[in-house]
Amino acid sequence: MLRPFAYLKPASLKEALGVLSSHPGAVPLAGGTDLLVDIRSGKARPSLVVDLKGIPALAGIQVEDQLVSMGALVTVTDVLDSPVLDQRFAALQDAARVFGCQEICHRATLGGNLAHASPGSEYGTALAVFDARVELAGPDGVRILPLAEFLVEAGKNALQAGEILTRILIPQPPQGSRSAYRRGSRVRGMDLASFCCAVLVENPREVDRRRVRVAVGAMNPVPTRLAAVEGLLSGQPWNDELMARMQAEISRGLNPRAGSLRATPAYKRDCIGVLCRRALEDLCASGES
């Protein structure tokens, strides 16, 4: 039996925000795959659960001219099955494939995954290479934050009282870009990442115009873009020597905490460089000298 709480299912964003700002013990419910676990463990003790699933403004993947807008309630399965996400967004679908078992993927949402702010979250890491922003709505209106500012600390996001994450905004990557998400975990199926990375390469086959974005997760308290590595690789031919330097640079620059259940700091540091290198080389496989 869960500790008792009340339940409401608003039909509009306005109604939901009204309830959330007027009830201090209210929490939003999306897929429930984190919240119900937290309620059961006692980590969350809401007096009121506000089910967001009746709010149309939070649903759907919309492709506009410059932007892809994903509702906070888009599920992991929605991402995997989406006909509108082309190959540039492969990292988001890679993440969906390893997110967890299918039953979890059918309910878990992108908004919930981001809001939970786990250091190795699939979508915190994958969306980092898309320069994603998040739209937050609250009693004082709407504001938009870069994802890196939304993910504040391990387990902590930038939502203020009465705010919810409504949409994830992804600037369209250039045509011909390719992306990937990779992770190491103890088992396939149901595990969090021991270490993970996302990469996005613009113009993968044209050395001069090639631009690289790299993010790592489960290495720092929040998913992190690696600017030094991006600078090293962009516009350069990728030979063994450069890639080895990149690997060393990644491993040197990260200092994961001790005490993680899943992997020791040394193991993470050793593996993350290999993982990034493989992800990048796979993306440019037809490529390079």
Partner 1 sequence: MQHQIRITVNGEEHRLTVPSHRTLLEFLREDLGLTGVKEGCGNGECGACTVLLDGVPVRSCLILALEAGNCKVETIEGLARGGLLHPLQEAFIEAGAVQCGFCTPGFIMAGKALLDRSPRPTPAQVYQAFGGHLCRCTGYETILRAMELAADKGA
With binding defined as CB under 8 A, does residue 23 bind partner 1? no
CA 149 and chain centroid, separation: 13
Question: What's the token pair of residue 28?
Answer: 């939003």
Cα–Cα distances (Å) from 75 to 58, 113, 141, 148, in that order, read 11, 10, 25, 21
Q: Smallest gap, in angstroms, from Cβ of residue 268 to partner 1?
A: 23
Q: Smallest gap, in angstroms, from Cβ of residue 110 to partner 1?
A: 17
Of 81, 86, 103, 282, the one binding partner 1 (CB under 8 A) is 103
Q: Smallest gap, in angstroms, from Cβ of residue 248 to partner 1?
A: 35
With binding defined as CB under 8 A, does residue 245 bind partner 1? no
Complex with partner 1: residue 1 or 261, whichever CB lies closer: 1
With binding defined as CB under 8 A, does residue 161 bind partner 1? no
Complex with partner 1: residue 8 or 145, whichever CB lies closer: 8
Span from 47-55, 143-151, 233-241, 279-287 in contact with partner 1 (CB under 8 A):
47-55
Complex with partner 1: residue 9 or 278, whichever CB lies closer: 9
With binding defined as CB under 8 A, does residue 43 bind partner 1? no
Cα–Cα distances (Å) from 102 to 32, 43, 76, 79, 111, in that order, read 15, 25, 9, 13, 18
| Local structure of 243: helix, strand or coil | helix
With binding defined as CB under 8 A, does residue 19 bind partner 1? no
Q: Smallest gap, in angstroms, from Cβ of residue 189 to partner 1?
A: 4
Binding map of partner 1 across residues 63-102, x = CB under 8 A, - = no contact = -------------------------------------xxx
Closest among 188, 260, 249, 250 to 221, alpha carbons compared: 260
Say how far apart CA 220 and CA 125 lie, in whole Å. Answer: 11
User: Tokens 């939070």 appear where?
Assistant: 58
Complex with partner 1: residue 7 or 142, whichever CB lies closer: 7
Say how far apart CA 230 and CA 199 lie, in whole Å. Answer: 10
Helices and strands: H and E segment counts in the chain: 11, 14
Cα–Cα distances (Å) from 31 to 47, 60, 116, 181, 198, in that order, read 18, 15, 12, 23, 24
Q: Are 129 and 179 in contact (CB under 8 A)?
A: yes
With binding defined as CB under 8 A, does residue 42 bind partner 1? no
Q: Which residues pair with 151 in a beta bridge?
A: 157
Q: Smallest gap, in angstroms, from Cβ of residue 126 to partner 1?
A: 19
Complex with partner 1: residue 104 or 158, whichever CB lies closer: 104
Say how far apart CA 183 and CA 190 lie, in whole Å. Answer: 13
Binding site for partner 1 (CB under 8 A): 1-7, 9, 29, 32-33, 36-37, 40, 49, 51, 53, 100-104, 106-107, 188-190
